[in-house]
Structure 1
């Protein structure tokens, strides 16, 4: 390989400049684009000021170093809240509620500009706690258990109205758990035991009544059968039965008359049989 004697050698300073220029280009290029994930919308933030131009999922250009893109989740999200309250009959109740909500896409700018990204702790949780306390106070403790769907429906209706002011959509409400005092739990258990015992006693009484009716019906049937049998007994039937008995006795007779003295009548009327 021949070396051109006229070619000037590269200076270290020039090499460093080229490397620095390349790094700057890469840095600027890397900060010129931002991606918005699926299920989100993006909003430009320039020098700390939010822009109402909403970005769909995908890659978008931005001014390097001076502009950023914040993402707002528009998918259904769950917020869980614990609330302590009192029922209508002044029983302490601890409630764990799960709220499924989503952000209204068209109003995402207003939500982020007026409240910010922590709207779940600023808006949703306090509103849920307040409404749960309000609704819980309308029902006796036992009704909170037996009418759980009605209670959840009322909480959902009130919370939907409240969060709509902040462009938040309530998709569903779930009362995960009601927790009462130990004394109340024991009283509920005792009541259930008493109800079960009363039900058993009622079933036993019903069974006894049915068995008694069955015995009466059986006795009546037997009495009716006996009455009908008595109606069937006539003088001719009695005489016929007597003849049948005498015939059976004659069949078994060996021809020897019994040697019995006295005025007793022979047990078979020979004359009557011979005249037939």
Structure 2
């Protein structure tokens, strides 16, 4: 292109110089020849410009992850979908339209109601792309911004339809099931518009502030009830422990009384056991002291033992 312009300017300059030089010798024919040379030069420049425009617009490149469809001024949209790389077209008569067929995300947030009439705010994220084999139909009926025209409406409708089948508790406990149903419904609806959905996910699920407070109050009440139930169970268990302990002490006292009545030597045996325990404590102590027998409880019940021995076995009958 630059070479053609350079050659055209050189030819025009040479013709102008030639016409100027001849004008001095031949008289009035010089201006006419100069005008003719200028006209030829302008024609050459125009031809070079047309050729350059045609050469530049006769090819186009389709980048990776893209496809192209071509609009022809005579026949309309051509049925061929052009792939990646260098492609040819007729300048001015044909116009290529490039589509990005890579996966793209779109987010939608909508307010809807559950089966138990609770207002729910749900946000959905969809990964989508156009069907590469249906780009001509998409451009003809939807245009390049097909996702903005189709996806918000069908996502809103499918989300509201699915959420209305569940109550508020099930939306939380069956979240995967809700997401799967929304995905199936969206795929069916998007297939009618030749749009492929690769993934559908619920990114946010929130209830009204009033419902959230009611759920929190319910959980707190349940926790208080459970705590109260365990407190009652603990008190009952403690009561049983006290009763059992009292019964044991009563039975123990009764058994001791019976043993004393049947055998007066029982008290002597208990006194000996107590004295042994005291002696062990004193022996293991670091301070060494001397104690008499009374301190060791060896003679603590001496008088009673003597009375029991004088009374004989007849006094206990």
Query: TM-score scaled to structure 2, two decimals?
Result: 0.61
Offset at residue 172 of structure 1 (A): 1.2
Distance apart, 1:212 and its partner CA: 7.8
Query: Paired residue for 1:182, among 209, 220, 231?
Result: 209
Corresponding residue for residue 28 of structure 1: 54
Structure with greater proportional helix content: 2
Inter-CA distance 36–199: structure 2 relative to 1 (3 Å threshold): farther
When residues 44 and 139 of structure 1 are mapped into structure 2, their CA distance, relative to the original with a 3 A threshold, is same
Match of 2:148 in 1: 121
- Residues 124-273 of structure 1 correspond to what in structure 2 (within 5 A)? 124-202=151-229, 204=231
* Structure with the higher fraction of residues in strand conformation: 1
Partner of residue 57, structure 1: 84
Q: Specify whether residues 182 and 35 from structure 1 end up closer, same or farther in structure 2 by C-alpha distance, changes over 3 A only.
A: same
- Give the match for residue 41 of structure 1: 67
**How far 1:202 sits from its partner (Å)?**
4.9
SS at match of 2:222: helix
Tell which structure's C-alpha radius of gyration is larger: 2
Alpha carbons of structure 1 residues 40 and 200: separation in structure 2 relative to 1, 3 Å:
farther
Distance 2:92 2:40 in 1: 27
Q: Structure 1 pair 198/57, CA: closer, same or farther in 2 (3 Å)?
A: farther
C-alpha displacement of 1:155:
0.6
User: Distance between the aligned counterparts of 1:118 and 1:53, measured in 2?
Assistant: 20
Q: Residue 54 of structure 1 aligns to a residue in which SS?
A: coil
d(CA) in 2 for partners of 1:72, 1:117: 7
Cα 1:23/1:95, change in 2 over 3 Å = same
Written as runs of structure 1 = structure 2, the 5 A alignment for 1:46-85 is 46-47=72-73, 49-85=76-112
Q: In the alignment, what sits opposite 1:91?
A: 118
Cα displacement (A) at 1:145:
2.7
- Paired residues, number: 243
> What is the CA–CA distance in structure 2 between the aligned matches of 1:173 and 1:211, rounded to whole Å?
56
Q: CA deviation at 1:133?
A: 1.2
Shift of 1:106: 2.4
Distance 1:186 1:53 in 2: 59
Distance verdict in 2 for CA 1:59–1:91, change over 3 Å = same
Worse overlay, 19-28 or 52-61: 19-28
Higher RCO (C-alpha 8 Å, min separation 6): 1
Alignment RMSD, CA only?
A: 4.1
SS at match of 1:75: coil
Show CA shifts across 1:34-81 (max 9, x none): 121211211111128211111111121111011111122221122222
Aligned to 1:271: none
Task: Give structure 1 stretches of 5+ with no counterpart.
Answer: 1-6, 254-263, 265-276
Alignment CA distance shift 1:194-1:166 (3 Å): same
1:52 alignment partner, SS class: coil
Partner of 1:19: 45
Secondary structure class of the residue paired with 2:137: helix
CA apart distance, 1:14: 4.3
